[in-house]
A and B are shown apart, each in its own frame.
Chain A
Amino acid sequence: MLDQPTNERRLTIARAMAEAMQQEMQRDPSVFVMGEDIAGFGGIFGNTRGLFEEFGKERVRDTPISETGFISAAVGAAMDGMRPVVELMFVDFFGVCFDAIYNQMAKNTYFAGANASVPMVLMTSTGGGYSDAGQHSQCLYGTFAHLPGMKVVSPSNAYDAKGLMTAAIRDDNPVVYMYHKGLQGMGWLGTEAGATVNTPEEEYTVEIGKAKVVRKGTDVTLVGLAMGVHNALKAADKLAEDGISAEVVDLVSLVPLDRETVINSVAKTGRLIVVDEDYHSYGVSGEIIASVTEHDISKLKASPARVTFPDVPIPYARNMEQFCLPNPDKIIDAYRKM
């Protein structure tokens, strides 16, 4: 694992994901990719670009719009010696195929007493902010992370995106790989510049289940993942102008959840704000806060806060959606109210 990128090769998350898949496909003939529009089109969000040209239609398979069919098929193939990487185009579409995911992919290892494994990756796009409304903008982190039996990761930058994809493909367990559309580096969706970072050409892994302190601080801990990390970093910059030192923790993985890194940070700062683009209730933000408070509530100098999406479907109109989304100002407000 390389912690410090040494070259100056900046990739988007889309390219980093594709490169990880390319290298793993070169290394391991059991790896193949399937999903809707992932072959010639290169993935709606660019993350399989170039794979079809290099590996052909046997290993880079466009599927019918039949998510139950092809995700279940991935489960069967994974249990029979293959390592499928399968794409659910928008995480919002999980509704048509969740049985394949949470009743099969996530449980078969347990039902086999760990005598069988399901080494597959389910990659899926998350997030809004570009007015794609209520069936194409959700995050649903908590929905997936709640259900046991599948690892869940979500990168905030291209370096992690590549290393997590490589780790996910090599993992003998099912991994749900959630990539945020707004970080993807696709110009037509707008993009967060901070997600495009130096990314080594050689293969490497980023450990699944390990959070990262991406900015050190002493006054407050801001915890987020994917887009939430960038909102937290921007808020930290602004808070620093007022002499407030914010530490930012990038969760990187939701399952396994690295509670220790969060707890250690809060032990130092005494204040906790969780930033989560997923719905407010019953989700990641509640889990993080519960993990900290049940560990040692005396470390907290103030009640913890969360900056999340309110419990409403994602509205279409730009003003309403932006009103609901987390942003740096809301994080700063949350800090001021502590």
Chain B
Amino acid sequence: MQPTKEQLLWMYENMVVSRRFEEAVEKAYLEGKAPAFNMANGPIPGEMHLSNGQEPVAVGVCAHLDANDIVTATHRPHHQAIAKGVDLKKMAAEIFGKSTGLSGGRGGHMHLIDPAVNFSCSGIIGESCGPACGAALSRKMQNKPGVAVAFLGEGAANQGAFHEALNLAGAWDLPVVFVIEDNSWGISVPKSEATAVARNDVRAAGYDMPGHYIPGNDPYAIFDIAGEAIARARDGKGPTLIEVETYRLAGHFMGDAEQYRPEGEKDALFAKDPIPKMRERLLADGHAAKDLDELETRAEARVTEAITFARDSAYAPDTDALTAVFV
């Protein structure tokens, strides 16, 4: 499946928005955390898991989805949320803990839920899989259109929840696609030491669904394979498992010294940064540099607007902590 020109530019723009967003979050996160790094301080406290480098997976998959489709995402959710169309201003405000955020500051960056575009995520590893099955089942039972996509990391493919959900999807022929972002690290533990198989696509066979492995963090290939899987789900032909080789250009969380990485690994990954690579390919394929420059400027402006909105927003009253437990 080949992307149209519009789809290609949408993918590139969302990758750039995502990266600029993470850079802005990183900058704000580090405010108030020097000279001593204390997670509790600064305008963005707590843990922060940045998605730098993993953008191709989000855009290659979400290019085939609309707001009606469902995405369940991970503890590293920003690129997935952006590609799914989560309101950037509300998302930024949530990350800053403000009253204008998606949950009014209750959830934070690992708990972004936007019902307007059917997006949710969880900080618990592997917990995207079951809810995606349930959403897919719901659409089937209600005879409503829509597919569900569960994003997860390669480490999550060793959780019981992943295997149980895949079996459920296979047994019930659910319109769901499982997308594993294989960045090869579960915090400090390499995939090769934690996973019995080299590639998780082979596990699809155990659940009677097609499995695909996509090397190279390549947005074009991801678009192609994900497109076929999503079309298959829409046609009522059941679930698919896809594993994508991607790169975590940041630490597991902000403050991670990454001493577990082999020497030179980070440099090698930065040399394969998917965003400049895609720009080069777009230029080689005849897209005008001026058009891409404009797109990048627009992306930057969107991020600036969102971050400004977040910073300018007020914190919720303290007592808001006690509300919204029930509707």
Contact = CB atoms under 8 A, between A and B. Distances in A.
B170 interface: no
Best-surrounded residue of A64, A92, A134, A311 (most CB of chain B within 10 A)? A64
A135 B110 CA distance: 9
A318 B45 contact: yes
Nearest to A130: B40
A96 B159 contact: yes
A65 B185 CA distance: 11
A40 interface: yes
Contact of A36 (B161, B189, B318): B189
Interface stretch (B118-126, B218-226, B238-246): B118-126
Given A65-B126, A317-B315, A320-B318, A129 B40 contact: yes
Nearest to B153: A65
A189 B40 contact: yes
Interface string B85-108: 000000000100110000001111
A80 to B, nearest CB: 22
Given A190-B38, A320-B105, A96 B97 contact: no
Interface in A82-103: 92-93, 95-96
A316 B107 contact: yes
Contacts of A198: none
A315 interface: yes
B2 interface: no
A37 B194 CA distance: 11
A324 interface: yes
Contact of A132 (B46, B122, B127): B46
A131 B106 CA distance: 10
A93 B189 CA distance: 18
A65 B194 contact: yes
Nearest to A318: B45
A65 B186 contact: yes
Q: Which secondary structure characterizes the binding site on chain B?
A: loop
Given A187-B38, A315-B105, A315-B106, A321 B321 contact: yes
Interface string B1-44: 00000000000000000000000000000000000111111000
B111 interface: yes
A189 to B, nearest CB: 6
Given A190-B38, A316-B105, A323-B321, A133 B126 contact: no
B189 A66 contact: no
A4 interface: no
B114 interface: no
Interface string A126-160: 00011111111000000000000000000000000
A324 B321 contact: yes
A194 interface: no
Contact of B46 (A36, A41, A133): A133
Given A36-B186, A187-B36, A62 B193 contact: yes
Q: Which secondary structure characterizes the binding site on chain A?
A: loop
B39 A130 contact: yes
A63 interface: yes
B189 A62 contact: yes
A134 B111 contact: yes
Contact of B325 (A68, A313, A322): A313
A133 B123 contact: yes
A119 B151 CA distance: 38
A324 B320 CA distance: 10
Nearest to A133: B108
B45 A37 contact: no
A322 B319 CA distance: 11
A214 interface: no
Interface in A155-201: 187-190
A97 B94 CA distance: 30
A189 B39 contact: yes
Contacts of B46: 130-133, 136, 316
A6 interface: no
A318 B97 contact: yes
B325 to A, nearest CB: 5
Interface string A310-338: 11110111111111100000000000000
A44 interface: yes
B321 A320 contact: yes
B55 to A, nearest CB: 23
B123 A96 contact: no
A317 B188 contact: no
A316 B322 contact: no
Best-surrounded residue of A37, A66, A312, A317 (most CB of chain B within 10 A)? A317
B242 to A, nearest CB: 19
B236 interface: no
B123 A66 contact: no
A67 B97 CA distance: 31
Interface string A49-69: 000000000000011111111
Given A65-B156, A93-B125, A133-B110, 8 more contacts: A37-B187, A40-B260, A63-B189, A66-B158, A69-B160, A134-B107, A187-B38, A320-B321
18 contacts: A36-B186, A36-B187, A37-B187, A64-B155, A96-B124, A133-B107, A134-B106, A135-B110, A135-B122, A187-B38, A190-B38, A310-B321, A315-B320, A316-B107, A316-B109, A318-B97, A320-B106, A323-B318
Ranked nearest first, the 4 interchain pairs of A and B with the lowest CB-CB distance are A316-B108, A317-B105, A317-B97, A131-B45
